[in-house]
Amino acid sequence: MRLQAVDVKLGYGDRLIVDGLDLGIETGTVTTIIGPNGCGKSTLLRALGRLLKPLSGHVLLDGRHIHRMPSREVAKILGVLPQAPAAPEGLTVADLVARGRHPHQAWYRQWSAGDEAAVEDALRMTGLLDLAERPLDELSGGQRQRAWISMALAQGTDLLLLDEPTTFLDLAHQIDVLQLVSRLRDEAGRTVVMVLHDLNLAARHSDRLIAMRDGRVVAAGTPHEVMTEPVLDEVFDLEAKVIPDPVTATPLVVPIAIRPRPTETSTPR
């Protein structure tokens, strides 16, 4: 396990979102964090990616405290794709993807052969070679998301954290992105941690699932272990039937209704 969280407390200012959480990410797998809005998924991902410093506890990368490592060193091991990233006007796909090489560059090493190869590979893997010189603003939502993933790929890190990489995409583009994630694991041996909302896609494209609610982990394990009717009830208050996916035999969630909880006071956000 190269990435671990040990008893982390996370929050912004006075607001505590995650209160003491332990987690380990299996190397070479795709792990997906699921849970209702506001359960702390993105906060946890940001902490794992060194974007947010835990209030207490620590995140370990290769056994070292991630917040005590030099930023640049972390950026060579761990890549992060934030939720709905913003791109400056006029930037081309190639410009954006080339930015991913930043941790490997210096003023005297601005565009090495390695940079060029990495950017080319990243563009090829995401199917964007032909669009390399197009401005990002001219691309479709799916293409743009692929460009951002391509930038994270060009960074050349073994670990990749993707925060809702399929948001705003239509179903075909969602599947396109998730197939790309599977290829990253299979072909490049990358470890991927992501946040997804679609439970069936998460079950189908992940090796491991982590189900969260109110800042704590309710269940973690394989999709078969996590995607069960009791867990769905506890995490989402969702009455559902879980059947085997006719294509992949992974769990398939058929929602029935939201169950009002008698003890519930308010939905935590």
Q: Which stretch binds other proteins (CB under 8 A): 15-23, 114-122, 206-214, 215-223?
A: 114-122
97 three-state secondary structure: helix
Per-residue x/- marks for other proteins, 231-250, CB under 8 A? Answer: --------------------
Q: Which of 14, 15, 89, 263 binds other proteins (CB under 8 A)?
A: 89
Of the two residues 110 and 263, which places its CB atom closer to other proteins in the complex? 110
Say which amino acid occupies 142: G
Q: Does 118 bind other proteins (CB under 8 A)?
A: no
Q: Which of 44, 59, 61, 74 binds other proteins (CB under 8 A)?
A: 74
| Listed residue (146, 153, 86) closest to 122, CA to CA | 153
Q: Does 167 bind other proteins (CB under 8 A)?
A: no
Say which amino acid occupies 168: F
Whole-angstrom Cα distance, residue 252 to residue 181? Answer: 20
Q: Does 86 bind other proteins (CB under 8 A)?
A: yes
Per-residue x/- marks for other proteins, 20-49, CB under 8 A? Answer: --------------------------x--x
Those residues with Cβ within 8 angstroms of residue 215's Cβ, 6 or more apart along the chain or in another chain: 10, 16, 17, 18, 19, 21, 39, 40, 43
Phi first, then psi: what are they for 187, rounded to 5°? -90, -35
**Paired tokens of 103:** 């941790």
Q: Which stretch binds other proteins (CB under 8 A): 2-10, 54-62, 185-193, 230-238?
A: 185-193
Q: Does 105 bind other proteins (CB under 8 A)?
A: yes
Asked if 232 and 240 count as a contact pair (C-beta separation under 8 A), the reply is yes
Question: Diameter of the chain by CA atoms?
Answer: 64
Q: Which of 15, 63, 68, 107 binds other proteins (CB under 8 A)?
A: 107
Whole-angstrom Cα distance, residue 262 to residue 259? Answer: 9
The beta-strand segments (E) located in the chain are 3-12, 15-25, 30-34, 56-61, 64-65, 78-81, 159-163, 191-195, 208-213, 216-221, 238-244, 251-258
State in angstroms the smallest separation of the CB of 103 from other proteins.
4
Q: Which of 127, 141, 221, 255 binds other proteins (CB under 8 A)?
A: 127
Phi first, then psi: what are they for 108, rounded to 5°? -95, -5
Of the two residues 48 and 202, which places its CB atom closer to other proteins in the complex? 48
Contact positions vs other proteins (CB under 8 A)? 13, 46, 49-51, 70-76, 79-82, 85-92, 94-95, 98-100, 102-103, 105, 107-113, 115-116, 119-120, 123-133, 152, 155, 176, 183, 186-187, 189
